[in-house]
């Protein structure tokens, strides 16, 4: 098994390897399996270092693993969003690392090899106060998405003008259609409908397996036409829309990691280190909210299962809130003045 070659510790724990094989056989995405294997391997490595039998682990042992994750140095530097250490992995990363450990113990319970799961999860508990929700093992921090200011966005686009036709149209589509990185890189030539200026986002490339059809603007259509002519000089075969132009992988599908590297280099050039492949999606959904789109329409456009997910993506800046408040106060003030005018008119009539 390839995963056991990458993480030898999995081969030393039969039940762990078996659990991952089941998930693989069920057709889970390779990236999901890889993330599960990494998280579980990290936990099993610690168990071996601390002489802990994973089959007998308790909540105390899991807490020790969480403590190690929160204090582990991050290659991105100090992370102020960890639980209380001021360093270590990000809260979202810790949550991701704990998911496979929790699911592994769920599997052991189903197999009759354990009676309880030492990894806590937030769940509904009848009879409890404050809505009856029990907290998970690690508090989940929810951050507002970062979006660039108008000046920062213009600076980024100015740098992008020097990019290849492929990179320019990818940035345009990423914003216009609010595409996730995998959705963008997985587009195929037959997903395009230039006549209607729409593209199909196939279910197998989406996060929640929901297929959708989204439009793109006329300016993006011009960029796309130019890229298709350029693509024909690389390959005339139908298939993946975006092709690599490097010597090593010429005419091969552009990978997710290559696209991330391209955006990262542009972000550094513009001194915008927080700009990522997901920023264009955040910005598009925020702009739709600013234009007054209904929440359900934005959720459908974004491919969200529920509007709760959409709310986490919509970021209204302090300036937007201030403008909204000012407009509201102006309406209230005008209404009060109108009522006072009517009162004055009534008093004059009575006199």
Asked whether residue 197 falls in the same domain as residue 235, the answer is yes
- The position carrying tokens 């302090």 is 318
Give the tokens for residue 36. 């599960």
SS3 assignment, position 110: helix
Angle, helices 165-176 vs 150-160, to 10°: value is 150
Asked whether residue 287 falls in the same domain as residue 181, the answer is yes
- pLDDT at site 325: 60
Give a yes or no: residue 280 inside a domain.
yes
Strands (E), 35-191: 123-124, 133-134
- pLDDT at site 182: 93
Asked whether residue 165 falls in the same domain as residue 87, the answer is no
- pLDDT at site 332: 67
SS3 assignment, position 129: coil
- pLDDT at site 133: 40
Give a yes or no: residue 135 inside a domain.
no
Which residue in 89, 95, 49 sits closest to 73, CA to CA?
Answer: 89
Asked whether residue 66 falls in the same domain as residue 162, the answer is no
Consecutive H or E run containing 267? helix 256-269
Torsion sign, CA atoms 28, 32, 34, 40:
negative
Give a yes or no: residue 292 inside a domain.
yes
Give a yes or no: residue 231 inside a domain.
yes
Which residues share a beta bridge with 79? none
Single out the residue in 64, 99, 120 at which a domain terminates. 120
For 33, the domain range is 2-120
- pLDDT at site 130: 39
Asked whether residue 277 falls in the same domain as residue 195, the answer is yes
Cβ atoms of 137 and 98 closer than 8 Å = yes
Gap between the Cα atoms of 113 and 115, Å rounded: 7
Beta sheet of 212-215, edge-to-edge order? 192-193, 198-201, 212-215
Torsion sign, CA atoms 248, 249, 255, 258:
positive
Cβ-based neighbour number of residue 226 at 10 Å: 14
Domain count, the chain: 2
- pLDDT at site 139: 58
Give a yes or no: residue 143 inside a domain.
no
pTM of the model: 0.67
Which residues share a beta bridge with 124? 133
Give a yes or no: residue 222 inside a domain.
yes
Asked whether residue 189 falls in the same domain as residue 96, the answer is no
Asked whether residue 113 falls in the same domain as residue 8, the answer is yes
- The position carrying tokens 């929790």 is 102
Note the maximum CA span of the chain: 98
Task: Name the CA dihedral angle for 34, 36, 41, 43, rounded to a multiple of 10 degrees.
Answer: 150
Gap between the Cα atoms of 79 and 252, Å rounded: 37
Which residue in 38, 236, 71, 78 sits closest to 228, CA to CA?
Answer: 236
Give a yes or no: residue 142 inside a domain.
no
Which residue in 36, 140, 63 sits closest to 95, CA to CA?
Answer: 140
pLDDT in tens, the chain (351 residues): 567 778 889 889 999 999 999 988 888 878 788 889 999 999 999 999 999 999 999 988 988 888 888 777 655 444 433 334 345 567 777 888 888 999 999 999 999 999 888 887 654 333 444 343 445 555 555 667 788 988 999 999 999 988 999 999 999 999 999 999 999 999 999 999 999 999 999 998 888 888 999 999 988 999 999 999 999 999 999 999 999 999 999 999 999 999 999 999 999 999 999 999 999 999 888 888 888 788 889 899 999 888 877 777 665 545 465 566 666 667 766 776 676 676 666 555 665
Which residue in 104, 85, 98, 89 sits closest to 18, CA to CA?
Answer: 104
- pLDDT at site 124: 37
């Amino acid at each position: 098994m390839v995963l056991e070659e990458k993480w030898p510790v999995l081969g030393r724990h039969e039940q762990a390897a078996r659990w991952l094989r089941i998930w693989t056989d069920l057709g889970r995405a390779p990236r999901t399996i890889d993330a599960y294997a990494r998280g579980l391997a990290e936990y099993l490595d610690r168990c071996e270092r601390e002489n802990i039998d994973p089959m007998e682990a308790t909540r105390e042992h899991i807490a020790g693993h969480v403590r190690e994750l929160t204090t582990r140095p991050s290659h991105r530097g100090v992370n102020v969003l960890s639980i209380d250490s001021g360093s270590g992995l990000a809260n979202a990363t810790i949550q991701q690392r704990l998911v496979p450990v929790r699911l592994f113990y769920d599997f052991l319970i189903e197999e009759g090899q354990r009676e309880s799961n030492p990894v806590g999860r937030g769940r509904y508990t009848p009879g409890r106060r404050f809505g009856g929700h029990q907290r998970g093992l690690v508090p989940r921090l929810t951050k507002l998405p970062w979006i660039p200011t108008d000046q920062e966005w213009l600076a980024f686009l100015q740098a992008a003008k020097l990019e290849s036709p492929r990179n320019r149209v990818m940035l345009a589509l990423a914003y216009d259609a609010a595409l996730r990185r995998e959705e963008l890189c997985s587009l195929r030539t037959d997903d395009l409908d230039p006549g209607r200026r729409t593209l199909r986002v196939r279910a197998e490339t989406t996060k929640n397996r929901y297929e959708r059809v989204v439009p793109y603007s006329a300016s993006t259509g011009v960029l796309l036409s130019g890229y298709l002519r350029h693509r024909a000089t690389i390959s005339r075969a139908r298939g993946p829309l975006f092709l690599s132009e490097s010597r090593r992988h010429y005419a091969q599908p552009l990978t997710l990691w290559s696209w991330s590297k391209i955006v990262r280099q542009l972000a550094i050039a513009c001194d915008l280190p927080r700009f990522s492949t997901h920023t264009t999606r955040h910005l598009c959904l925020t702009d739709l909210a600013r234009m007054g789109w209904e929440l359900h329409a934005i959720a459908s456009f974004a491919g969200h299962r529920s509007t709760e997910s959409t709310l986490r993506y919509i970021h209204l800046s302090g300036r937007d809130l201030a403008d909204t408040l000012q407009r509201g106060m102006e309406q209230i003030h005008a209404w009060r003045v109108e009522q006072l005018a009517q009162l004055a008119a009534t008093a004059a009539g009575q006199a």
